[in-house]
Amino acid sequence: MEVKRRISKEKYILAFVITAVVFILGLTLGILFDNYRLNVTEEGVKQREVDYLSLQLQYLYLTTLEDNNNSCNVLYTAMQKSIKDISESLEKFNTYNDKTKINYEEYNLISRRYIIDNIRYWLFSKKMKEECDMDVVNIIYFYSEKNCADCTNQGVILTYFKKLFGDQLLVFPINVDYEENEQMISILKSQYDVLNYPTLIIEDRKYEGIARSEELKKIICESFKHENEICH
């Protein structure tokens, strides 16, 4: 009987050791993958910072040239690329953020950086539109992942119109869930009196609640300075 008990005890110990090893291995791999994703995201943040500084320098340089129209075209192309890079990087980051189990604080900081990037490119686009007479439509999209049942659908609709209008439509998403840590969100919300989500600010005009496809297309088309062939 003692031999059987000893064998049984050894089996339990072996099972415990194997379980512990598997758990530790899984945890270690999780940490490694999470840190890898975080490093990739941080590299993207550094790249966008340099891109924005370069864009500012291009603006200062090109505005000194006599051929202002050509300068505007060059600068607008550079700005479009930067905004496109932010959008693609944000989609990848959101995927990483959903999977993180460890680096919550680091991801929160990077989330704030995306918001700040979107706001400053929005401001840059407004300035470009004024000084270069660009016929583009700017949209700030206030949304919440925690307290907004319609925000997912609004995001899908905006993505559709972004693909439809291409470079003529610029969308700058602002996740209000980070308002407690990012004061610029509060400033923008106060400026446009944003109380509900989703809310769109289209060329400084506020539209609360979900904007359906037909309604949004009409608003976008009316916001262009000249007739747009896509609107027909």
pLDDT at 27: 47
pLDDT at 73: 72
At 143, is the pLDDT very low, low, confident or very high (cuts 50, 70, 90)? Answer: very high
* The dihedral sign for the CA sequence 210, 216, 218, 224: positive
Express each pLDDT in 161-208 by its tens digit: 998 998 889 999 999 999 988 899 999 999 999 999 999 999 999 999
pLDDT at 229: 87
Higher pLDDT, 73 or 154: 154
pLDDT at 58: 65
Tell me: domain 1-130, CATH 1.10.3430, correct?
A: no
pLDDT at 37: 55
pLDDT at 114 over 70: yes
Nearest to 116 by CA among 86, 96, 145: 86
What the block records as the tokens of 221 is 């088309």
What the block records as the tokens of 44 is 């993207």
Q: Check: CB of residue 90 under 8 Å from CB of residue 22.
A: no
The one-letter code for the residue type at 63 is: T
pLDDT at 16: 56
pLDDT at 209: 93
What the block records as the tokens of 12 is 């339990």
pLDDT at 55: 66
Express each pLDDT in 83-111 by its tens digit: 776 666 656 555 555 555 555 666 777 77
Where along the chain do the CATH 3.40.30.10 domains lie? 135-232
User: How far apart are alpha carbons 91 and 173 in whole angstroms?
Assistant: 11
The residue assigned the tokens 């090893």 is 21
pLDDT at 95: 58
Express each pLDDT in 11-59 by its tens digit: 666 565 566 555 455 545 455 455 545 555 566 666 666 666 666 666 6
* Bridge pairing between strands 169-175 and 137-143: parallel
Residues 6+ apart with CB under 8 A from 85: 47, 48, 51
User: How far apart are alpha carbons 215 and 218 in whole angstroms?
Assistant: 5
Nearest to 37 by CA among 84, 85, 106: 106
pLDDT at 40: 53
Question: How many Cβ atoms from other residues are within 10 Å of residue 147's Cβ?
Answer: 11
According to CATH, the superfamily of the domain at 135-232 is Glutaredoxin (3.40.30.10)
Where along the chain do the CATH 1.20.58 domains lie? 1-130
What the block records as the tokens of 45 is 């943040």
* pTM, entire model: 0.70
